[in-house]
Amino acid sequence: MTTHDMITELTQTVNILQKDIKLLKEDKNYLYDKLEDAYSDRTALRSENYKLKNTEKQTETTSKPPMTQNFEDEEDCIACSA
């Protein structure tokens, strides 16, 4: 037979467990929000990194002087071979 004390104790245990479940759900939601923020930040940083790498590559290719012929060297070579 169950006694009144056992029912009261079980009711209190159920209430405590319900509070624990509520706290765990709040913690889970908080952690998922933080994870979503971290993913957003990571995406933004990867995008910025990609842009910076592309601009760096463009500046490297544009800062190199174009290939020019050195006519003085050619004249020297022609003079030497003549």
**25 within a domain of the structure (yes/no):** yes
Number of helices and strands in the chain (H, E): 2, 0
**51 within a domain of the structure (yes/no):** yes
- Using the Cα atoms of residue 31, residue 36, residue 39 and residue 41 in order, give the sign of their dihedral: negative
Q: How far apart are CA 23 and CA 29, in angstroms?
A: 10
**50 within a domain of the structure (yes/no):** yes
Number of domains in the chain: 1
pLDDT (average), residues 29-58: 92
Domain that holds residue 22: 4-62
**79 within a domain of the structure (yes/no):** no
Question: In this structure, what are the phi and psi dihedrals at residue 75, rounded to the nearest 5 degrees?
Answer: -65, -40
Q: Would you say residue 67 has pLDDT above 60?
A: no
- DSSP string over 10-74: HHHHHHHHHHHHHHHHHHHHHHHHHHHHHHHHHHHHHHHHHHHHHHHHHHHHHHSPPP---HHHH
Q: Would you say residue 70 has pLDDT above 90?
A: no
Q: Would you say residue 26 has pLDDT above 70?
A: yes
**67 within a domain of the structure (yes/no):** no
pLDDT at 2: 72
